Structure formats: C-alpha cells, structure tokens
Structure 1
Amino acid sequence: MNGKQSFINMLEKAKIGLANPELFGRAINRLYYTRLNSRDYNTAGENFIERDWDNLVILDGCRYDTFEEESTLPGELSTVISRGSMTVEFLEGNITDESMLDTVYITGNGQFYHNSEDLSASFYEVENVWSDSRFWNEENHTVLPETMAERGLEAAEQYPNKRLIVHFIQPHYPFVDSEIEIDDAFDPETPGFWMRLLRGKVDVDEDDVREAYQNNLRLALPHVETLLTELPGKTVVTSDHGNMLGEKVPPIPVRDWGHPRGIYTEELVKVPWLEYQNGERKEISAGSSAHEGAEIDDEDVEAHLKELGYLS
C-alpha cells in the first residue's frame, strides 16, 4: 500500500471515529489494555495448552458469570484468565509456533484455518467441522452443539491415545433458534451483528440479546455434559474468551458489545475452568507427522467467518 492510500485510509478511519464515539472510545481503550500496542495478546493470561488435561472442551465466547449461573455440569469449577479477548488472539497466545503432535483439534470455528500461516502451529490432526456441508447448519448459520459433541466422541474412538480439543461455537453468535432478526445479518458487505449493536445501527431489545446469548449456552451444556461423562480421562471445560453485553469499559467509559481484540476486561478474559475426571487418565503419545488437511476456498472461509460475526 502506497503512502497516499495509507493517508486516505487513515482519513476514512478518522471520519468513522468522529461519527461514532463508541468506536473512538474502544480504540483508546485498546491502546490502554495493550500498552500502546506493545503486546500482541493478554500476557497476564495463562497458557491453556500447557495445563493438565486429556480433553479440552472450548465454549467459544463464554463468560464466567454466565457459565456459573447456567451450568449444572459435574466437576470442580474455578476461573482462569484467558490470553485473548477474541479467538485469534487466544490462539496466538497459546499455540503460536507450537508442535502438538499429541493433540487432535476438532473445531467449529474457522479462525485456526484462516490464520494457520501466521500461527505456524501443528497438531496431529485437525478436523474443520465448519467446512463440511454435512455438519454446517444452514438455517442457523453455525455448527450446532450436538454436532460438535458427536464429532468429539468419534475422534475419541479414532484417536484413543491423543489429547483432544473440541471447540464448540456456542454461546458465540449467531443465536440458535432466536427470534432476533436482522436484515442482511449475514451479508458479507454489511457490518457484523456486534458492530451494528455497538454503533446503534440495529433495532433490538438489549435484554433480548442477553437472553439469546444465555440460551445459546443452555443449548450447548447438555451436549458438553455428554462429553464429560463419555470421554475417558480428565476433561476440562473452558472458553477462549468472554463477551461484552453492554457493560462500560474503562478507562473511556463506553458501553461495548461482542469481543473486540485487545480489550482485557473481566467480562472478556475471565473464563470458566471446570475439571472432571471419568475413569483412568489417558496414555497420551505423540504422532510422527503433522496434519496436512485439504485446502478450503478462501471465499468459503470468509463467508463462514462473516456468518459468525467476524470480518466486519
């Protein structure tokens, strides 16, 4: 990009910021939390990959307080601080340049695939559930939790001596079976749901949004319990990050929504850590080669991420 184009882009962003004080406030807050962009992720968080587990179940975008309120899952619940306030940042802080040939990653979120070159991480196997038309739910524009549980159980049978990461989408947007309807919500040319909400560009009741978010978690929990009680070994249920639901973010007290990068409020980085052991621990062994999956069309990847509310 040449200097003239960079200047034009800067002017466009300045215009947007002046017209949208919420975006300007978010930008200032991001500078505060990232220490003037001097850190790429939340260095105060823990590395989840290095902790002790046989199976790691990730509920995408799950706040600790919502989980504590809604969950009746067996096990010992505590909290942990995530290294990211969004999925990409979480991945960067946990798996960048890591060789995890003892681990199989089953994911309903395309961010690992989309950022694989930059992450430079290797697993024994990766199943991109989101990319398979058999598993993608067109009606709700997501991968349903029952599908992720099924894929997790099948992986456990196929790879009995590997650690498993099962990355659910819920409670992350889109809201499953929700009455909230937004025109052009999944149009790649329009801003995502959370951005529209932040900018006041969508006419929805805020309480309905919070209820839809909670309902997404309620829908997922029975299927998470299936994994807890059927997967062998020590299973941990956690989240990659939380979600702002209209709370004010310091130091610039703007109300924020969604999970913007580089904002490390409690609502965004305090997540659940539920431990449950089913029988004996697994005997984990590393494989001899890394996963090399089939390439997925870039447009398909971007369409998927747009449907999840990214790329806006």
Structure 2
Amino acid sequence: MGYNPAGIDVFAEDWDALVILDACRYDEFVQRSTLPGRTEHRISRGSTSSEFIRGNFAGKTLHDVVYVSANGWYAKLEDDIGAAVHAFEFVERDTAGGLTSRPETVAAAAREAAERYPNKRLVVHFMQPHQPYLGPLGSRFDFSGDMIDTIRHSNVGHEEVLQAYRENLDLVLNDVEPLLDDLAGKIVVTADHGELLGERERPLPIRSYGHPEGVYVKELVSVPWHIYHNGDRQEIVAEQPVQGTEKIDFERVEQNLRDLGYRT
C-alpha cells in the first residue's frame, strides 16, 4: 500500500485552503502556535512526505486543486501514482534559505497562486519545521543527510535539537499567521507527518530522531488540524490542468530532496 491506512484522506475533508507544515508534531504545534482559530488533530497517512503524497494523491484527478510546494515529492511521484492537479507550482530553494526555501518565500508564492486561481482549492506546503533549521541555534548545525547524520556531524545534544526544531516551527508560524488573512474561506493548517525528537525506541534505550518511513507511532502520524475561517467561501470549479510537472527541472527536484536528507 505504501502509506498508513489508518490516516485520513485530506481531500475528503472540508477546506478551501490547506496549509501544510512539514514534519510538524501535534504536541509541539499546540504548545507554540498562537494562530487564530481552533486546533483539532488528525492521523496522517504518512510518516514521511512521500507516504503522505501517495496516500492522498494516488489515483486522483484533482482539477480543482492548485498545489504550491517547497517539497519535491509530488513532482517526483506524480506519474508513478497516477495523480493530477489543476496546477503544481514548485517553490525552489532561495539564496537566503541555503538548502531550503524560507517560509516567507513560500507564503509569497501562495499569495500569488491565490490571486491567480481564485476558484480553486489551494494547497500550500511549507518545508519548516523540517530540517535544515534556520533559527539562531539551528543555523549552526551541519546538515548532512538525515537527522541522525546531522546530529552526529554537528556534535549537538538532545536539548539543542529540540530548541532548533522549535525555532524552525516558530519561524514558519510567524509567516503562516499573516497568510491566513490573505486566503479566503475555510483554511486548515496541518502537517504531512510529525517528527521523532528523542523518543526512545524499544527494546534498545536509544533516542530516535527524524521521520523513518513506515513507522506509524503517534509522534509521527498525529498531526495538527487547525481551522480558521476568513470571510465568505468561494465557489470552487474543476478545470483542465494549465500545466503538468513536465515543465519542472527534475534535476533540481532530486537535489531538493537530497538537501532535505531524503535518499532518492
């Protein structure tokens, strides 16, 4: 199956804009978010972004959806999983973000897409709080592959990882909050999956970090489902795609995924 069958189908849920925070745990979101609205929680179909994409997009014709994303997994998997959206806009990494796209860059792309496609459901996929970390402490990390490699090469401990993750979450929340008032209708802020932040795996008493595939523990699949209403809901119309992923530079997509620590 390739994904968590106990998770929800996000496209069966009711929303006009779906804002995805990558690797955002439900408990950390609740502790740090001051977004207006109310927070519920859901179970994700993935413990990784690729599982989330397979579990929600596979076999679907979503001509009423525009997907703005700084995560390259949809572009990589679209043909293999038989997915289609009205438009997919890949937000490439920017100079200021180093190995990733900063949240303000993704927010700007979301505003442009909302203006260009006013009668479509909008999915906006931010990379944070996923590594690389961009905050004061996190920016000193040596990002090398997955989180275990990064921790080893950066010579940091558990408390430093936790603080760097929270810095990254705060950064993206700071850009999501004003975005909520620039999007219309029913807006949901959620995550594709969570993150292990030092939980100890049995039977070995070692701390685990990151988000391994196929591990459906609560820290990885329990995600926020934060609901905010902004004005009237718009009529959503399905139309033929304006473009596919064939116009995307797949070499850059592969590099995007490697920069994020994925083995592609």
Distance 1:221 1:254, change over 3 A: same
Aligned twin of 2:147 = 194
Contact residue 235 and residue 275 of structure 1 kept, 8 A: yes
Aligned twin of 2:106 = 148
Contact residue 80 and residue 270 of structure 1 kept, 8 A: yes
Aligned twin of 2:240 = 288
5+ long unaligned stretches in structure 1: 1-38, 187-191
Aligned twin of 1:245 = 197
Task: Report % sequence identity.
Answer: 45
- 1:161 equivalenced with 2:113 (yes/no): no
Please report the RMSD computed on the Cα atoms of aligned residues, expressed in angstroms: 2.0
Please give the alpha-carbon distance, in whole angstroms, between the structure 1 residues aligned to 2:263 and 2:136. 22
Please give the alpha-carbon distance, in whole angstroms, between the structure 1 residues aligned to 2:45 and 2:197. 20
Instruction: Give the deviation of 1:254 after TM superposition.
Output: 4.4
Instruction: Give the deviation of 1:310 after TM superposition.
Output: 1.1
Name the larger-Rg structure: 1
Contact residue 162 and residue 284 of structure 1 kept, 8 A: yes
Q: How many residues align?
A: 263
- 1:136 equivalenced with 2:94 (yes/no): yes
Contact residue 190 and residue 225 of structure 2 kept, 8 A: yes
Aligned twin of 2:43 = 81
Please give the alpha-carbon distance, in whole angstroms, between the structure 1 residues aligned to 2:134 and 2:201. 27
| Residue-by-residue CA offset, 1:229-286 (whole Å, 9 max, x unaligned) | 2211000000000000110235666431101100011110000000111111111000
Distance 1:116 1:82, change over 3 A: same
| Residue-by-residue CA offset, 1:202-228 (whole Å, 9 max, x unaligned) | 521221111111101101112111121
Where 2:172 maps in the other structure, the secondary structure is: helix
- 1:116 equivalenced with 2:101 (yes/no): no
Instruction: Give the deviation of 1:311 after TM superposition.
Output: 1.3
Instruction: Give the deviation of 1:118 after TM superposition.
Output: 1.6
Aligned twin of 1:27 = none
Contact residue 110 and residue 128 of structure 1 kept, 8 A: yes
Where 1:166 maps in the other structure, the secondary structure is: strand
The structure with the greater share of residues assigned to strand is: 2
- 1:40 equivalenced with 2:7 (yes/no): no
TM-score normalised by L of structure 2: 0.92
Counterpart mapping for 1:48-87 below 5 A: 48-87=10-49
Moved over 6 A (4+): none
Please give the alpha-carbon distance, in whole angstroms, between the structure 1 residues aligned to 2:125 and 2:133. 17
- 1:94 equivalenced with 2:46 (yes/no): no
Please give the alpha-carbon distance, in whole angstroms, between the structure 1 residues aligned to 2:193 and 2:180. 21
> Which has the higher mean CA deviation after the structures are superposed, 265-274 or 218-227?
218-227
5+ long unaligned stretches in structure 2: none
Please give the alpha-carbon distance, in whole angstroms, between the structure 2 residues aligned to 1:49 and 1:211. 33
